[in-house]
Amino acid sequence: MEAFTSLAGGLAVAIQPANLMFALIGVLLGTAVGVLPGIGPALTVALLLPITFKLDPAGSIIMFAGIYYGGMYGGSTTAILINTPGESASMATALEGNLMAKAGRGGPALATAAIGSFVAGTIATLGLTLLAPYLVDIAVSFGPEDYFALMVVAFVTVSATFGDSPVRGLTSLFIGLMLGLVGIDLLSGQSRLSFGVPELYDNIEVTTLAVGLFAVGEALYVASRRHIQEEKLEAVRGSLWMTKEDWKRSWKPWLRGTMFGFPIGALPAGGAEIPTFLSYATERRLTKHPEDFGKGAIEGVAGPEAANNASAAGTLVPLLTLGLPTSATAAMLLAGFQQYNINPGPLLFAQNADLVWGLIASLFIANVMLLVLNLPLVGLWVKLLTIPQPWLYAGILVFATMGTIAANPSPVELMMLTVFGVLGFLMRRFDFPIAPVIVGLILGPLAESQLRRALSISLGDPMTLLQSPISATLLTIALLALVLPFFLKGLGRFKAVED
Amino acid sequence: MTQFRKGLWRGALAAAAVAGFVTSAAAQMELKIMAPAAPGGGWDQTARSMQQALTQSGVAKSAQVTNVPGAGGSIGIAQLVNNSKGDGNQLMVMGYVMVGALLTNKSPVTLDQTTPIARLTTEYEAIVVPADSPIKNAKDLAAAIKADPAKVTWAGGSAGGVDHIAAALFAKAAGADPTKINYIPFSGGGEALAAILGGKVTAGISGYGEFESQVKAGKLRLIGLTSAKKTANVDVPSIKEQGIDLEIANWRAVVAAPGISADQKKALTDAMDKMAKSKEWQEILKGKGWEDAYVSGDAFTKILAEEQARTKEVLTAVGLVKS
């Protein structure tokens, strides 16, 4: 196996003490910035680029890769503990993860996230090693019509996040879709629903919406309920670590999450959000403990977290083989390569084999380091939950506000955060599910622009959606997922589909 | 570029160089450079490279980079014009894309309100087709567009951006109706490149840097660059040399705040002149593959005015801006 010989050569590069140190610095920095909302891995790499200019290329690129993987780990920590996803990819993790934390199972939630990330990251990096050249051909053959069909599949599975009432769920989804229309329309360049406010031209920031609805809304809700009935938070109930049962319920979701995350992450317009939500929906359907969903089911953390990290490795497939940066962080990694006159692309594996295999080998090492680093921290993190409620939620509000300002220093952005916070409070108060809003905001604009692109290419002929084999297959899957449950369970309500 | 303008440019450079030796206060400058975009993009990289060159070459004592992302720079320029009036240490990176964005966004603030300082770099646009495409050169592409502009699909960056404008100008030069072009905007270079590689569109248009490695690997065929003459880094004659009258470049520049004094403007211009000549800046240009297009002073002010007029004309022609 040629790949393994090359990988062994790469390990020799990565295991040099200096490079090991760079990997360690990278994962430490990455975890730190991942935990802080607002400062993502992309900004960190941007800030470090001028400093690393004089360093050895292998060392600094290995460090950047460490930051990238570390950021993916760190983002889940705040999502689970304080319901504040630092990035849109940790949104699905927050759903069940935070419920687990509130039920005193923050320890196992963090552990399954860390181990799941490790398992997924390792398998996906292995996939990167062996499959990158083949996968990239498939990825490039995905046209706009195929992406649209993929979004349709994702839309169908959103119903898993609806909770008890399909009407309320659909209402939430449509609020999200409406918010997704705000801003400059990508295809025509004209602005919609932005009322001349320049900050709205760039669409509504997913993290602002998520932090507003999840964190601020929750803080307001807790404050409003405080005198009626105080919610008792226990930091640790039962074991701090994963029990045998937890392991049993986690390993399959880890693997399935990886299967969603890696290939979709490798698609140039795939991203990390779709696989995390697909994984969440799948786990919800397949679980043997449906009663736990909505109360903190470990499967709902294990799957999406694995999908999240696997998609991070997937993103490197188009980056290394085609020079296609498909996420902000990947774009910064590309800038990092170019700083040394190294151009990722079809010639990279031939021209800079040492560097590429050194990078891939150090991804394996970074993964091990992250696991070793994060597991002992679990005990420390869950202590956060023992902070008295008023203090904790005040802290969350400070964090949420700071993160929003750090990402986008503008008063309009803060206003939006506040408005979304109030909306989140009202939705909680009147029992509307929150996740569909965010899914709508993420998927709506993507689906719209892909469909319009597809129709533009086909000169307005909708049959293009059925003529592409990939698209036709995906649409069939979506149709079956929508219709089959009705036939199987009789013409029940949506509720019956889920429960 | 005409002989006259070249002369003007050289004259301006020489005058600025002389002036540079007279002022020594520049070394104490504490500059602030705003990148009106999120970290990672071209403007941000330009700002951070300037920071590096300015401080390492000792032209400025310090240079602080801030990011004000949003709406193709519309938010950044609004902040510069409204909050930094008369501030002689504030610079903002901008580029050709901002010219179009301000028009399509109907921005209340315009570039005329800023103080132009200097153009720094330029990148030519490249038109490519998939390697197995029947289109071999610019003439073939022009013939296809003339036959039916709607059937030729273009993949490029955001609507109203330099890629879109270049595609419209190509159609116009080919003798087709530029309002009929079938231009499909993608966000970020990666997605557009994937669509071209996958053969989903007829042609792709973007900065040459986006396509270079694919062209060298033989996966894409380069139709030509939008330069006046063939450049050293490609094997194909420029589109203009192939008989299609199209010349356009995506340049990046710096402007200063409105309302600064003539002395302040001169100090900033001197600092940029010195930076552009520094060894550090030249190394960065080479490393990043940016083409040096340094022009400062009145010559740049003139270029800026010309580009604004031409862009407005094209965007009105393709219907993105209502006249």
Q: What does the pLDDT look like over A234-245, one tens digit per residue? A: 666 667 788 889
Residues 142-161 of B with CB under 8 A from A: 150-151, 153, 158-160
Mean pLDDT to the nearest integer, A138-156: 86
Which is more confident, A417 or B56? A417
pLDDT in tens, A362-414: 888 888 888 888 888 888 888 877 888 788 888 888 888 887 887 777 788 89
Which is more confident, B19 or A441? A441
pLDDT for residue B243: 92
* Residue B46 touches chain A, beta carbons under 8 Å: no
In this structure, are residues A255 and A304 in contact, taking their beta carbons and an 8 Å threshold?
A: no
Burial (0-12, 13-18, 19+ Cβ within 10 Å), A488 = exposed
Predicted TM-score (pTM) of the model is 0.79
Residues 90-119 of B with CB under 8 A from A: 104-105, 107
Residue with structure tokens 């297009």?
B293
Q: Please tell me which of the candidates B39, B195, B200 has its beta carbon nearest to residue A46.
A: B39
User: If we measure between CA atoms, which residue out of A395, A416, A394 comes closest to residue A404?
Assistant: A416
Each residue's pLDDT, cut to its tens digit, for chain B (323 residues) gives 444 444 444 544 444 444 444 444 445 688 888 888 776 667 888 888 888 888 888 887 778 888 777 777 788 888 888 888 888 888 899 988 888 888 877 778 888 888 888 888 888 999 999 999 999 999 999 999 999 999 999 998 888 888 888 999 999 999 998 888 999 988 765 678 888 988 999 999 988 877 887 888 888 999 999 998 888 788 899 999 999 999 898 889 999 888 888 888 888 888 888 888 888 888 888 777 778 888 888 888 898 898 888 888 888 887 777 76
pLDDT for residue B17: 46
Mean pLDDT lowest among A348-357, A426-435, B18-27: B18-27
Homologous superfamily of B123-225 in CATH? Periplasmic binding protein-like II (3.40.190.10)
Q: Which amino acid is at B272?
A: M
User: If we measure between CA atoms, which residue out of A313, A309, A310, A299 comes closest to residue A253?
Assistant: A299
Residue A182's pLDDT band, with cuts at 50, 70 and 90, is: very high
- Name residues whose C-beta falls within 8 Å of residue A116's C-beta, 6 or more positions apart in sequence: A250, A253, A254, A257, A301, A302, A303, A305, A306, A309
For residue B141, the distance in angstroms to the closest alpha carbon of chain A comes to 17
pLDDT for residue B162: 87
pLDDT for residue B13: 47
pLDDT in tens, A35-59: 776 666 777 777 777 677 667 777 8
pLDDT for residue A498: 47
pLDDT for residue B286: 78
Residue with structure tokens 């031939």?
A350
- Say if the Cβ atoms of B40 and A335 lie within 8 Å: yes
pLDDT in tens, A52-109: 766 777 788 888 888 888 887 887 888 888 887 767 788 888 889 988 988 888 889 9
Which is more confident, A225 or A407? A225
Q: Where in chain B is the domain with CATH 3.40.190.150?
A: 3-122+249-317
DSSP label at residue A424? H
Q: Where are the domains of chain A?
A: 2-498
Q: Where in chain B is the domain with CATH 3.40.190.10?
A: 123-225
CATH architecture, domain defined by B3-122+249-317: 3-Layer(aba) Sandwich (3.40)
